[in-house]
């Protein structure tokens, strides 16, 4: 099969993470205490491919681009990076996408800063783009278009635009512009260097194609945009659009027909699907979950908000209803990513006043605790993301966050501290760099580490990787947790003996984020 357009990414993206999406977070760090090949096997194993090298599962965003091109009549396909060579010789256009091209997003930045070692996602992508077959095809006239959620990172790394010969960078939702760009590339016409798709140019629901082939771990988008308007989030800049249930079901069928038995309902706040403003729509949510469960053994969520969980349960009993639908002999828990952001009410008022709605922002710490109690009771395991270095953050804000972490110690969760990256309405603010790190930040990271290690052991014992075929992976993760625990104790001892002032060593900086680690990892 001869392709005119090849769509791909590196191995950290073209993988199914053993069917466990949360393992994908490990691609944002360097390999700790093990060879990189073993690390990649744990978090980014090679997926199955068909006879021409198309992965049976591929990232949802790449599938959308692929669908738009196929609908327009192009001979295009997502191709596994290991099979790129057989197609790139004759293809006229290469499209690449990524969630974190250059390890500039969280939590990649934190791992790089804390360890001084380049995260595997960046290393993997750079290896891909430096492959000889891509360079040779570029000399023969191959056009390259880059895009995806991390398109903005190229603007901070323009030297790679030149090195890799990227012809066009697409920043924003691509469905409305990608066909025209492909037509120009295949005709040999000059391409624009940069295409920004703003909120007013975003595609409508009818302009967003259905995926043609299966997405990684059955991820299906149910809506785009978010009405909560948090200032640090770029998603709130997009218009809010709900997919009709029949459109969602068509994509369920694509994944189910490919043999996928799991489903991830994807939006920035699943509990707002079909909502009226910020008021949940119980009927729409129940129908959505009933439909998903018809096709899949397990159903999970990509993101929810803490206020949404609290209100949905207290007002409608929705958390109990939805977990009753999805829990059975095949599914005993549900995982989800949740923004904790800060424990400071002062900062919450400034950067996310609508994140607590319909509750007043002054209730934020209580909202956090109540919501986590609800999730703990209903066996929902949140991965909580916490932002350090927010604009105008002071010592009192750090103290409030540390206090909140103490309040939620008893609730099953993982806490991932992230450093502020200027995005959304705060994109003109400064990055959180090494010289901004205080003892208060280190103390919060320390509390997050011990909280997460404690509950990671509980989660693995109770819920995670319980299938017999995952026994080697379970053992590897337990060994990794033991390694991190040992290193954590060594770092704490070092800090007690040497103090915080000795931790920062600018003479050893190898990147703009780095704090020299007190312990070699």
Asked if pLDDT for residue 60 goes beyond 90, the answer is: yes
The pLDDT tens digits of the residues spanning 319-347 come to: 999 999 999 999 999 999 999 999 999 99
Q: What is the pLDDT of residue 501?
A: 56
- For residue 392, count other CB atoms closer than 10 A to its CB: 11
The chain-wide mean pLDDT, for the chain, equals 90
pLDDT value for 507: 39
Query: Would you state the pLDDT for residue 20?
Result: 84
Q: Is the pLDDT of residue 518 over 80?
A: no
Asked if 43 and 115 touch (Cβ cutoff 8 Å), the reply is no
Tokens at residue 295, please? Answer: 């096709």
Segments making up each domain of the chain, as ranges: 5-201, 214-432
Question: What is the mean pLDDT of the segment spanning 17-37?
Answer: 86
The residue among 74 and 497 whose pLDDT is bigger is 74
Element holding 85 (H helix, E strand): helix 85-88
pLDDT (0 to 100) of residue 36: 92
The Cβ of residue 305 has, within 10 Å, a number of other Cβ atoms equal to: 27
3-state secondary structure of 276: strand
Cα 379 to Cα 43: distance, rounded to the nearest angstrom: 24
Angle at 252 between CA 87 and CA 299, to 5 degrees: 115
Convert 300-351 into a string of H (helix), E (strand) and C (coil): EECEECHHHHHHHHHHHCHHHHHHHHHCECCECCEEEEEEEECCCHHHHHHH
Q: Identify the three-state secondary structure at position 140.
A: coil
What local confidence, expressed as pLDDT, does residue 503 receive? Answer: 53
Confidence (pLDDT) at 517: 37
Task: Determine how many CB atoms are found less than 10 A away from the CB of residue 396.
Answer: 12
Q: What is the pLDDT of residues 363-372, one digit of tens each?
A: 999 999 999 9
Fold of 214-432: pyruvate-formate lyase- activating enzyme (3.80.30)
Average pLDDT value for residue range 87-107? 93
Model confidence band, residue 358 (pLDDT cutoffs 50, 70, 90): very high
Would the pLDDT of 470 be above 80?
no
Is-contact 434 513, C-beta < 8 A?
yes
pLDDT band at 66 (very low <50, low <70, confident <90, very high): very high
> What single DSSP character describes residue 92?
S
Residue 297 has pLDDT above 90, yes or no: yes
Given a cut of 50, whether residue 354 has pLDDT beyond it is yes
Q: Which residue did the predictor score with more confidence, 517 or 71?
A: 71
Strand-pair partners of 414: 383
Quote the CA–CA distance of 168 and 182 in Å, as a whole number.
11
In CATH, what is the architecture of 5-201? 3-Layer(aba) Sandwich (3.40)
Return the DSSP state at 28. G
* Bridge partner list, 8: 96
Does the pLDDT of residue 282 top 90, yes or no?
yes
Given a cut of 50, whether residue 506 has pLDDT beyond it is: no
Q: Is it the case that residue 500 has pLDDT exceeding 60?
A: no
Predicted confidence band of residue 113 (pLDDT cuts 50, 70, 90): confident
* Burial class of residue 286, CB neighbours in 10 A (0-12, 13-18, 19+): middle
Q: Is 510 a residue whose pLDDT tops 90? A: no
pLDDT band with cut points at 50, 70 and 90 for residue 499? low
Q: What is the pTM of this model?
A: 0.91
Confidence of residue 233 (pLDDT cuts 50, 70, 90): confident
The pLDDT value recorded for residue 343 is 95
Q: What percent of the chain has pLDDT over 70?
A: 95
Alpha carbon distance 87, 262 (integer Å): 31
Using DSSP, state whether 261 is helix, strand or coil.
coil
Residue 97's nearest CA partner among 173, 9, 195, 31 is 9
Q: Which residue has the higher pLDDT, 465 or 222?
A: 222
């Amino acid at each position: 099969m001869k392709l005119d357009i090849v769509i791909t990414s590196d191995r950290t993206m073209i993988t199914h993470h053993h069917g466990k999406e949360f393992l994908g977070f490990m691609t944002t760090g360097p390999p700790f205490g093990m060879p990189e090949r073993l690390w990649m096997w744990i978090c980014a194993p090679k997926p199955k491919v068909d006879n021409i090298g198309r992965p049976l599962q591929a990232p949802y965003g790449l599938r959308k681009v692929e669908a738009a091109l196929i609908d327009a009549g192009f001979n295009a396909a997502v191709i596994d990076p290991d099979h790129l060579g057989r197609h790139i010789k004759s293809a006229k256009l290469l499209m690449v996408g990524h969630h974190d091209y250059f390890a500039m997003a969280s939590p990649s930045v934190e791992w790089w800063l804390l360890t001084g070692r380049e995260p595997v996602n960046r290393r993997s992508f750079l290896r891909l783009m430096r492959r000889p077959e891509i360079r040779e095809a570029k000399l023969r006239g191959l056009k390259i278009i880059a895009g995806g959620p991390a398109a903005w990172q190229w603007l901070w790394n323009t030297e790679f635009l030149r090195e890799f010969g990227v012809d066009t960078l697409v920043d924003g939702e691509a469905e409305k512009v990608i066909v025209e760009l492909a037509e120009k590339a295949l005709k040999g016409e000059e391409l624009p260097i940069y295409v920004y798709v703003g909120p007013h140019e975003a595609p409508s629901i009818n302009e967003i194609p259905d995926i043609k082939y299966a997405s990684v771990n059955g991820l299906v988008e149910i809506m785009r945009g978010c009405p909560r308007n948090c200032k640090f989030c770029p998603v709130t800049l997009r218009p809010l659009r709900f997919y009709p249930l029949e459109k969602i079901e068509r994509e369920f069928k694509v994944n189910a027909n490919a043999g996928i038995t799991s489903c991830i309902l994807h939006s920035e706040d699943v509990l707002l699907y079909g909502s009226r403003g910020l008021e949940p729509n119980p009927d729409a949510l129940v129908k959505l979950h009933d439909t998903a469960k018809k096709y899949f053994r397990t159903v999970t969520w990509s993101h929810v908000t803490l206020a949404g969980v609290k209100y949905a349960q207290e007002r409608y009993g929705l958390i109990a209803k939805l977990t009753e639908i999805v829990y059975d002999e095949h599914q005993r828990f549900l995982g989800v990513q949740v923004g904790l952001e800060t424990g400071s009410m002062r900062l919450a008022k400034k950067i996310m006043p609508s994140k607590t709605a319909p509750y007043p922002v002054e209730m934020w710490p209580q909202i956090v605790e109540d919501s986590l109690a609800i999730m703990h009771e209903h066996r929902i395991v949140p991965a909580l993301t916490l932002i350090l270095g927010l604009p105008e953050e002071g010592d009192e804000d750090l103290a409030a966050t540390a206090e909140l972490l103490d309040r939620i110690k008893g609730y099953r969760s993982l806490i991932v501290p992230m450093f502020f990256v200027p995005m959304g309405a705060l994109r003109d603010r400064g990055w959180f760099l090494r010289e901004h790190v205080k003892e208060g930040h280190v103390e919060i990271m320390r509390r997050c580490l011990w909280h997460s290690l404690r509950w990671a052991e509980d989660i693995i014992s109770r819920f995670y990787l319980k299938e017999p075929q995952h026994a080697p992976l379970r053992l590897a993760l337990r060994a990794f947790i033991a390694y991190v625990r040992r290193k954590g104790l060594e770092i704490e001892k070092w800090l007690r003996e040497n103090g915080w002032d000795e931790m920062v060593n600018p003479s050893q900086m190898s990147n703009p984020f780095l704090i020299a680690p007190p312990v070699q990892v």
